[in-house]
Amino acid sequence: MKSFRGSKRIWPGYVPPNKNELLSSWIFRNSREHKIKPHSFTKFYLNTSSFWTRDVDKFINNETLHLICKQTPLSITQIKDMQLVSYQDIIFNGELLTSYSQGISNLGIYHRTRTQNGLLICPTCLGRDKYYKKKWRLLTSIGCLECNSYYIDCCPKCLSPIIFQRLAIGEKSTYQEYPIYLCWKCHYDYRKCRQIRLPKIVRNYQNYIDKTIADGYNRHINYSFLYFDIVYLILRRVQSGSTLWTRIRDAFIKEFGIKEPELFHKCQFPSFKLRSKIIPFIYIIMEDWPESFVIFCKKHNLRYSDFTRGEHDLPFWFYRIFRDFF
């Protein structure tokens, strides 16, 4: 029997979202509270059989959005706050696109499975809190400061992407509830992962990034997305497979002793392994802005044109360094 709160028909087993929880994680937990498989839950309550074949943390249609609103105590704003659109004008500027938005990972959705390792987890957090967090979809997320360990982006045993809604798949006739910290494919317990402690520089980096996201600005610039514009620009330059524009990549190889083959990736999204290695170096050359960046560029003879190749106009706060110091 469904309960009523005002004009709403609230799900009988409704559970509220946790702090910074992904929409998909919250829907999944509600299906479990009702003892219904995720696909059956969304088909019955949200009138859709394709819910899990989309990146719902990026986008759901208005009909589904309003159905959730009508059947829960949440407002439209509260529901959207669980989606990645809540990082608009913080991580990225403009609309959140289903194809690509700066700083947001792609899942590589194929029907109800995933072909890319677009979802990170902190095994300790997952075992303790038992839900999936929004920041686990950010390309700038490398490690958990609370647990002092790196995230993981796949099952350490079978290397499958993390797809929590596929737990108990294949059990067609019965409802089977496996712990949320198990791999959907081989049932490996993520909590048993060997925890790799964060070096001091990675902790400093992640603390700065987390604070930038929370505040919406940092000591570099008043608008955080303009800072991330440059972080991802440099990341693209470093991991580029170009044979013509290699000066920034060569500078990182010489400065930080990176093995050259690690950098040649033609995919749009660098792997988590590559990001976790390169982005802290980007933080290092930008840490004492602008002195550290100027020293790095002059040491390796980098020019403004090395950064602008194939790009739209870069933020003025970045251009100004080359105007004033070069």
The pLDDT of residue 310 is above 90 = no
- The pLDDT assigned to 161 comes to 96
Predicted confidence (pLDDT) per residue in 152-178, tens digit: 999 999 999 999 999 977 766 778 899
How confident is the model at residue 99, as a pLDDT?
Answer: 75
Question: Mind listing the pLDDT tens digit for each residue in 24-46?
Answer: 999 999 999 999 999 999 999 99
Q: What is the pTM of this model?
A: 0.92
**pLDDT score at 261:** 63
- DSSP bridge partners of 110: 113
Q: Measured between alpha carbons, how far is 304 from 122 in angstroms, rounded to an integer? A: 38
Q: Is 220 in the same domain as 246?
A: yes
Residue 171 sits in the same domain as residue 315: no
Q: CA quadruple 277, 281, 282, 283: dihedral positive or negative?
A: positive
pLDDT tens digits, 207-223: 999 999 999 999 999 99
Q: Is residue 187 domain-shared with residue 229, that is, in the same domain? A: no
Average pLDDT, the chain: 91
Among 192, 209, 235, give the residue marking a domain's end: 192
Which among 140, 173, 192 is the end of a domain? 192
Give the percent of the chain with pLDDT over 90: 77
Six-digit token pair at 81?
Answer: 């706050």
18 and 58 in a common domain: yes
Residue 151 and residue 175 in one domain:
yes
- Shared domain check, 162 and 282: no
pLDDT for residue 243 is more than 80: no
pLDDT at residue 258 in the model: 85
Predicted pLDDT at 268:
59
**Which pLDDT tens digit goes with each residue over 3-14?**
445 578 999 999
Give per-residue pLDDT as tens, 247-276.
999 999 999 988 766 666 555 568 899 999
Whether residues 38 and 164 fall in one domain: yes
Into how many domains does the chain fold?
2
pLDDT at 38: 93
What's the pLDDT at 270? 81
Q: What is the pLDDT of residues 282-308, one digit of tens each?
A: 999 999 999 999 999 999 999 999 999
Do residues 11 and 30 touch, judged by C-beta distance below 8 A?
yes
Residues linked to residue 121 through DSSP beta bridges, in sequence order: 152
Check if the beta carbon of residue 105 is closer than 8 Å to that of residue 139: yes
**111 and 165 together in one domain:** yes
- Which of 141, 176, 192 lies at the terminal end of a domain, its last residue? 192
Q: Spell out the SS3 assignment of the chain.
A: CCEEECCEEECCCCCCCCCCECHHHHHHHHHHHCCCCHHHHHHHHCCCCCHHHCCCCCCCCHHHHHHHHHCCCCCHHHHHCCCHHHHECCCECCCCCCCCCCCECCCCEECCEECCCCCCECHHHHHHHCCCEHHHHECCCCEECCCCEECECCCCCCCCCCCHHHCCCCCCCCCCCCCCCECCCCCCEHHHCCCCECCHHHHHHHHHHHHHHHHCCCCCCCCHHHHHHHHHHHHHHHHCCCCCCCHHHHHHHHHHCCCHHHHCCCCCCCCHHHHHHHHHHHHHHHHCCCHHHHHHHHHCCCCHHHHHCCCCCCCHHHHHHHHHHC
- Domain range spanning residue 279? 200-325
What contacts 111, CB < 8 A, 6 or more positions away? Answer: 53
**Long-range residue pairs from 311-317, CB within 8 A, at least 24 positions apart, any chain:** 311/233, 314/229, 314/230, 314/233, 315/221, 315/226, 315/229, 315/230, 317/220, 317/221, 317/226
